[in-house]
């Protein structure tokens, strides 16, 4: 199937996609601030340039867009145009994510992924539920976990 936009329009649309200070990052900033947690944003010196770094807990939080990181939820849809290109691009993102998480956990950082669907969309978690999950994770000994629309899931990094 051909793209519904001409090349110039598609390019303009893609350039408008933000990589920093996105809606989900803004929401996370509000939640972390309401918890009284001190944090840094977009720390370039660490692998993957984490969205949030909480030095006190040696913890890192990434906010992942469900499309760009292929989350198994209602927000991810396989593109109908240039499908192979997009699936390859998204798979590259996922491989990079795994590598970055591995590097961080090997350096004794805790890593939490908060999926876009937990923050926006028809199945989003309430602020209270999301805050509780973040607090629970910060106080746990789990090296990595993720929060999506189904709550919190722990996983092993290998």
- Catalytic residues, by residue number, are 51, 63, 69, 97
- Long-range pairs for 90-95 at CB < 8 Å and ≥24 separation? 93/68, 93/69, 94/69, 94/70
Beta strands in 14-143 (DSSP E): 40-41, 52-54, 59-64, 110-115
The span from the CA of 25 to the CA of 13, in Å, is: 20
CA terminus-to-terminus distance, the chain? 38
């Amino acid at each position: 199937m051909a793209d519904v936009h001409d090349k110039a329009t598609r390019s303009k649309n893609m350039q408008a996609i933000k990589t920093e200070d996105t809606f989900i990052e803004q929401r996370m900033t509000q939640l972390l601030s309401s918890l009284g947690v001190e944090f840094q944003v977009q720390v370039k010196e660490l692998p993957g340039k984490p969205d949030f770094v909480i030095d006190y807990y040696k913890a890192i939080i990434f906010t992942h867009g469900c499309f760009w990181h292929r989350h198994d939820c209602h927000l991810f849809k396989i593109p109908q145009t240039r499908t192979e290109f997009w699936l390859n691009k998204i798979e590259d993102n996922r491989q990079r994510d795994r590598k970055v998480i591995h590097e961080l956990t090997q350096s004794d950082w805790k890593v939490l992924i908060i999926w876009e669907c937990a923050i926006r969309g028809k199945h989003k978690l309430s602020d209270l539920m999301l805050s509780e999950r973040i607090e629970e994770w910060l106080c746990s000994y789990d090296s990595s976990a993720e929060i999506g629309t189904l709550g919190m899931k722990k996983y092993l990094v290998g």
